[in-house]
Amino acid sequence: MKLINIKGDTYYIKGGTNTGVVKLDEDNVLIIDPGLGGLRPKKIMGLLKENNMKISHIINTHEHEDHYEGCNQIKINDETIQILSSKEAKIYIDFPHKFADSILGGKSNILLNPKVSDKKENLIKIDNVVSEGNIVLNNKKVEIIKLKGHSEGSIGVLTEDKVLFVGDLFVGEDIFRKFELLLMYDVKSYLSSIDKIKNLEFEYMVLGHSKKIYSKEESKLLIKSHSDAINKYINQVRELLKSPITIDNILKNIINNNNLYCNYTQYYFFRSTIISIISYLCYLNQVDYSIKLGEMLYYSKKA
C-alpha cells in the first residue's frame, strides 16, 4: 500500500476502492472513501501515521458500503474524527439495510447480503451532512459537487489542486468492459451529472474503482463511453417496449442480448437499473402500462 501524490496536497491510496487523501494543514488530513472494513482501514491508518498524517475528517462520496464501511474502524481509533456525507447518503449509511431493501424491493435476505443477519446495529453514524458548494475543513477549502444518478446521495469532491474525486459516477475502463450496464438510481440525474462534469474545471479525475488516474483530456473519452453505454441501453429498452412486456422479460432480453455476467446480486442491480430506465422514459412521457392476467406490462406510447 502506497500514498501516491497526484498534485500539491492531494494524494490517493489504490485499492478495490480508491481512497483520496487531502492535506488540510501540517498535521491533519481529509480522507475520501475509506473503503470496506477489515485490513484496509488499519493499513490506511498505519500508512498515514508513517507519513505524519492524522485523519480529522472523512467524506463518503455515496452510500454504498464498499466506499464507507471502513469509517467505523477509523473512528474507533479517534472519536474526534468527523464523518461527512450528503443528507441523502446519510439515511442509508446510518441505516445500511435500507440500500439492500431498496434493491430487492422488500425485506433483504442473505442471498443478496450474506452479512445481513450479522448487522444488529450499524456503528457508523454520519456526524455532519455537506451540501453542494465550498466547505472549509481546518482552513482548507474543498468543493462539494452533486453528482446524483449512480445513487441518490452521490457527490463529488474537488480539491484546491483541481483534483476531482467522483466516486462511482464512472468506473475504470477494465471494469467498464465487464459491467457496461451500470447501476443507476436515477437516469435523468445521471445524464445531468455527466453534463455537469464536462463543464467543471479540473486537471485530474479519481474514480472509486480504477487502476489509473485520468487527466482532464483522458476523461473525455471515458465520459463519452459511459454516456454512449447509457443511451445504448435506453434505446434497447425502447425497442423492447414496442410490444407489451414485463420488467423481468426486458431484463432477460438485455442480459442475453448483451452476454452480461450475472449472479444473484448483479441480477438485482441490473433489474434496478432497468426500472430506472423505465422511470426515465415515463418522465419523457413515452411509456404506458396495462395489467393482464396478473402481469404488469409496459409498452411505448404511440406518437
CA pair distance 286, 92, nearest whole angstrom: 31
Per the structure block, which three cell numbers stand in for 7? Answer: 498534485
pLDDT by residue (tens digit) across 145-168? 999 999 999 999 999 999 999 999
CATH topology of domain 232-300: Arc Repressor Mutant, subunit A (1.10.10)
Residue type, 41: P
Closest CA to 247 of 282, 283, 271, 279: 271
Average pLDDT over residues 19-44: 96
What is the architecture of the domain spanning 4-230? 4-Layer Sandwich (3.60)
Domain boundaries, the chain: 4-230, 232-300
291 CB neighbour count, 10 Å cutoff:
8
251: Cα separation from own chain's centroid: 22
Please list, in sequence order, all residues whose beta carbon lies within 8 angstroms of the beta carbon of residue 113, skipping any fewer than 6 positions away.
Answer: 100
Q: What percent of the chain has pLDDT over 70?
A: 97
Strands 204-206 and 19-23 turn out to be: unpaired
Query: Over the range 91-127, which residues count as b (16 or more CB within 10 Å of their CB) and which as e?
Result: bbbeebeebbbebbeeebeeebbeebeeeeeeebebe
Prediction pTM value: 0.94
Q: What is the radius of gyration, based on Cα positions, of the chain?
A: 20
Which of 5-14, 48-57, 107-116, 199-208 is the least confident region?
A: 107-116
pLDDT by residue (tens digit) across 203-262? 999 999 999 999 999 999 999 999 999 999 999 999 999 999 999 999 999 999 999 988
Whether the per-residue pLDDT at 116 is higher than 70: the answer is: no
Residue type, 62: H
Q: Which long-range contacts (CB under 8 A, 24 or more apart) does 98-103 make?
A: 99/63, 99/64, 99/65, 102/272, 103/268, 103/269, 103/272
Whether the per-residue pLDDT at 120 is higher than 60: the answer is: no
Q: What's the pLDDT band for 177 if we cut at 50, 70, 90? A: confident
